[in-house]
A and B are shown apart, each in its own frame.
Chain A
């Protein structure tokens, strides 16, 4: 069955430090991959997505992600974290069959130390 794994429940980084959030997926075909962010009490905001082409994708707020087919991974990175980046981050995979379901990982909560 298709699945998305985010192995880190919580990550704490210092402001200005680099960040990498891990995401692994299990899906038989080429996936359509997303990262969403959810701030406390807020809705979901799309950070970036990958479907095909360049495996390094740029998103909003200085985030980027790299698709690695051999590792079934789509890790999210940011070179310098700001305090406002503290939020919950969700990796998701869209099933490119007729269902178009979007399956979410369990999420990673990012805490930023001043």
Chain B
């Protein structure tokens, strides 16, 4: 299965600022997914990042707040903009399996605290 390098692993940010999270995959993938995991909650899909097109956002998430870039088939970034304490969460990227013998691969996550 694919290997994902995600960074930063954690950060503490001031409200009103922005943070960009990066995910690098060791192989080319068509789709990358971005998730948010709020404290004590499950994973919620933010958006699907496709190379060469605009990201597709889920209900409740907008591009102005969570802009995504996908410059090539191995890399994506998620920016959390104009942060507030409610944005304190773990953010994870993921890629679908290469075949039916594999599961979805996840980055190690970025633990964001907004103060």
Instruction: Write the residues of chain A forming the contact surface with B, with a CB cutoff of 8 angstroms.
Output: 34, 36, 43-44, 46, 49, 51-52, 90, 92, 94, 99-107
B42 touches A102 (CB 8 A): no
Instruction: Confirm or deny: B89 has a beta carbon within 8 angstroms of a beta carbon on chain A.
Output: no
**Chain B 12-32 against A: per-residue CB contact (8 Å), 1 yes, 0 no?**
000000000000000000010
Name the segment of B60-68, B69-77, B102-110 touching the other chain: B102-110
Most buried by B among A46, A51, A90, A105: A46
Chain B: interface size category: 10 to 19
Residues of B within 8 A of A51 (CB): 100
A94 touches B43 (CB 8 A): no
Instruction: Confirm or deny: B94 has a beta carbon within 8 angstroms of a beta carbon on chain A.
Output: yes
Which one, B42, B48, B107, contacts A101 given CB within 8 A? Answer: B48
